[in-house]
Structure 1
Amino acid sequence: MAVHSTKMDLALAAIHDADLPHPGGELLDCFIRQSVDREQAAAYLLQKCSSDRGKAGPAAFLADWTELILAFISEGVGRVHDRSIVCDITSRDGAKCCISGLDSSLADPLIVVRIFPESPQQLDPPLREMLDAFLSPSLKDVALTAETGNAPENLWLVRKSVAEAFSQGYFILRFQGSKDYRVDINRTGAPTQPPIVNEVRRLRRGSFTDHSGSGMAVPAHSALQVLGRFSQSIRWVLIGREIAQRTKHTSTKFAFPSSRFLASSCTAILTAIWRCVPAAFRVAIYRRLAPLGRYLYGPSCSLHVQRLPFGLYLKRKNLDWHQSLVNEYGALELVRHHTHVTAPRPLDLVSGADDSYLLTSAVSGYHIGLCIDIMSDAELADVARDLQASLVEIRSIPKIVAPTFEITNAVGGACYDHRISAGAVYDEARGDFFGPFENEDDFNNILRCGALPEVVHRGGHRVVFTHGDLNMRNIMVKDGKLSGIVDWENSGWYPEHWDYTKAHFITKRHWRWLRMVDKVSEELGSYEDELATERKLWEYCF
């Protein structure tokens, strides 16, 4: 049994074990992590839950916590229409949005709004006690007695869309002193976030200054500190509302950017013609298409991958990692020919003097990491079932290449895997490629750590075809369903536990995703012992 050294560890474990309907666990997690004193908040949660047996304690605590959060959610933005006040505040704030730094626009004007439209003064004693555990005494006093009228310290100038997004918890102001601040963006709930969220510069810095020189009071930083503590929780409450409003027959629908996917029959013909073009010319075209893609669609979640027009994606790697693209091309061909799993179609692989390029078709949908926050438990269970079925197919792909080696990449060569290279001493001649390995024992030896000679994986596992990098960027979902799996450069034939332990290696803290990974693995095999061995190695090496 794991040893929990702090009240916070114990409280977070209790929240995890309670297995509350989404987003209940995330809300209780916020009570701990967003509090002023995490140990104090954790101790309070544990004390309150200890009197109830089983899951009733966390559920009852969640109900009270949700009620407290609702006291800080405003149904409107508290706009002020008095022309004299608007003129004074606009002059004081320099005619710019205090949060975004943007000027007014015809479609999105600057408006004056109240920071605290309403004050939760009429809280019941249990909620006041909870507020006391969550905030410091000074911030609690601010929360209960904050100015809610049109005093200058309760007013600021913001764009209309920014005011709405702020009231929904998308922006958090972090203060250094009473005037200087940094604007943090809370992206919980993407991709349904308002467009203005993407227009605000990341980690933008600002300062409350009286630009009018009139001596007028600037916005109260203490009130904004209180709201900042509740921002993450407000997002989760609103997400919970969105999920509850959907009927059980309605899936999560996202407005996926439209793109023209090349018809399968035409793709083969066009690709064959294109590959007849000299390599130097194709490389030159790809070098020009990548900046165009960034201009049209913005950067992707990977530095090496760029979305292009016509439903295409381009992956670029330095020549030192050319074999990783060779492997991905080969893996995608295997998946296409041996399974019904939706994956990108490999269209071209070419190298220039410095770089290699892999061109593939796109897979519709969003990375599950962008959507998991707003997916219901039922939707996530559907994705888990679909992913489990996909892995069963993937694991059945026959190994024909390199018959003398048991563990290889998808084309029978050396393995390319960040887990392996992260724990090994770098060898310039070998680079980041290891193997191939004649058997599982040889593979297990490369994972060993000299300082932990007794920590080693057992042998005797089945060796199966493996994606090798199942994380929240590589699982695609659309309308609440699995739509495909991308990024196959780490794939190959590995011990049967590798996809499971790698998923835990890549993502260690997002417990909802990891719980789904555990669910997916239930029908594939029990790999808790292998995960325990891996964790011992991770803790020491990394």
Structure 2
Amino acid sequence: MWQPVTLPFKNGSLPRPTLPTPDEIRACTTILWERSSVKVVAVNDEIVVKFGTSLNAWEGQALVYLERYVPSVPAPRLYAMYRDAKQLFLVMQRAPGVPLSSIWRSLTEPEKDDIVTELRKAVDTLRQAKSPWPDFYGGLDGGSVHHYLFWCRKVGGKYLGPFHGEAAFVAGLTGNYRAAIERDGLPDFKARFYETSLLHVLQGHRPTLTHGDIQPKNIVVAEKGRNSRGQRSFDVMLVDWEEAGWYPDFWEYFSATRRSSALPPEAGVFSSPAPRQYYAESPVIEVPPGRSSLR
């Protein structure tokens, strides 16, 4: 049975390169990404580190889970996870290649098809995994649902969950929508509609292992060869597993296709959910911008 690892954690199952010290990491000038109190730096060609004071361990727990139970999913391996001076450090394998977002428009159709085929394999492998906890909807660390729609809109915000049963998951979603509009003093007609309709429409979906944020910037591709016509083929790796967890089986499709930077649906990475699921879920995920936004 899966149990989240304790910190400090060092991965003893992998050939491990020499790991940098916290001070060496902080001094690194090759910054790949930075936001508020979280930074991602490339220490060298082998190691990338995500660290900061507002970083949470659940992304590291997700990487450990994937390595142990779904190793064929292309995800970075976690070398170490620890805290130092109030900062959390995730020391990871550096994914070779470039973000798909940087080259998608320049690819030929056969090259796009090759990448989509690899992505579909990864998603299908995730969907075949079995949850270690019956009827559980939450993070791979056994905790809350790490998605912005489940960030509690009441005082003292935190992520909601975990939930046991799809009905509880949907109730958490609609309840959080109500909390947002009540906080902003807005009419509750949409909240009442969601509360009475979504529980009837969104049911019968098993807990499914979900990345939660599949978009081109989180897909790293590396050329692995060319055929006789000069068309490239690619290795693919999914990064940024912060929102990963056990969600209803339609969630990967919605979370991936409702973002402005998403791959086009016609790319064919995901199987579309039934129309009634699509139209029921979309209004909640696409909360209008403004005071009632859940973002």
* Common fold by TM > 0.5: yes
% identity of equivalent residues: 21
Distance 1:504 1:318 in 2: 30
TM-score, normalization by structure 1: 0.42
The alignment status of 1:383 with 2:115, answered yes or no, reads yes
The secondary structure found in structure 1 opposite 2:72 is: coil
1:454 equivalent in structure 2:
193
Aligned equivalent of 2:185? none
Q: 1:381 to 1:288 in 2, by over 3 A?
A: same
CA-CA distance at 1:536 after TM superposition: 1.5
Deviations 1:77-136 (A, max 9, x none): xxxxxxxxxxxxxxxxxxxxxxxxxxxxxxxxxxxxxxxxxxxxxxxxxxxxxxxxxxxx
Q: Residue in 1 aligned with 2:47? A: 312
Superposed, which structure 2 residues align to 1:22-421 within 5 Å? Answer: 266-267=15-16, 285-292=21-28, 294=29, 297=30, 299-303=31-35, 304-318=39-53, 321-322=55-56, 325=57, 327-337=58-68, 338-400=70-132, 402-403=133-134, 406-421=136-151
Q: Is the 8 A contact 1:329 1:349 kept in 2?
A: yes
Code of the residue aligned with 1:502 in structure 2: it is S
Map residues 399-478 of structure 1 onto 2, 5 A cutoff.
Answer: 399-400=131-132, 402-403=133-134, 406-421=136-151, 424-428=152-156, 431-448=157-174, 449-450=177-178, 451=188, 452=190, 453-455=192-194, 456=198, 458-478=202-222
Q: How does 1:474-513 map to 2 (within 5 A)?
A: 474-479=218-223, 480-505=233-258, 507-508=259-260, 510=261, 513=263
Larger radius of gyration: 1
> Deviations for 1:216-237, whole angstroms, at most 9, x for unmatched residues?
xxxxxxxxxxxxxxxxxxxxxx
Q: What SS class does the counterpart of residue 164 from structure 2 fall into?
A: coil
Once the 2 structures are TM-superposed, how far is the Cα of residue 374 of structure 1 from its aligned partner? Answer: 0.5
TM-score (norm 2): 0.75
1:486 Cα offset (Å)? 0.8
Contact 1:290 1:308 in 2 (8 A): no
The CA distance in 2 between the partners of 1:432 and 1:315, in whole Å, is 21
Write the distance in 2 (CA, Å) between the matches of 1:388 and 1:332.
19
Residue 317 of structure 1 deviates from its aligned partner by 3.2
CA distance in 1, matches of 2:117, 2:252: 16
**Match in the other structure for 2:7:** none
Is there any run of 5+ residues in structure 1 with no aligned partner, and where?
1-263, 275-281
Structure 1 counterpart SS, 2:130:
coil
Alignment gaps of 5+ in structure 2: 1-12, 179-187, 224-232
In the alignment, the residues of structure 1 paired with residue 52 and residue 150 of structure 2 have an alpha-carbon distance, to the nearest angstrom, of 19
Task: Supply the AA of the counterpart residue of 1:514.
Answer: P
Distance 1:376 1:419 in 2: 36
Letter of the structure 2 residue corresponding to residue 381 of structure 1: D
Query: Aligned partners of 2:218, 2:40: CA distance in 1, in Å?
Result: 12
1:265/1:536 CA distance change after superposition, 3 Å: closer
Q: Is the 8 A contact 2:139 2:145 kept in 1?
A: yes
| Cα-Cα RMSD | 2.4
Structure with more strand by fraction: 2
The superposition leaves residues 243-270 of structure 1 with CA deviations (integer Å, 9 ceiling, x where unpaired) of xxxxxxxxxxxxxxxxxxxxx9631xx6
Are residues 529 and 306 of structure 1, via their aligned partners in 2, closer, same or farther at CA, if it must alter by over 3 Å? farther
CA shift in 2, pair 1:396/1:433, >3 Å: same
Q: Distance in 2 between matches of 1:462 and 1:317?
A: 34
Higher helix share: 1
Q: Count residues with an aligned counterpart.
A: 246
- Structure number with higher relative contact order (C-alpha < 8 Å, ≥ 6 residues apart): 2
d(CA) in 2 for partners of 1:317 and 1:473? 21
In 2 relative to 1, CA 367–527 (structure 1 residues): closer, same or farther, beyond 3 Å? farther
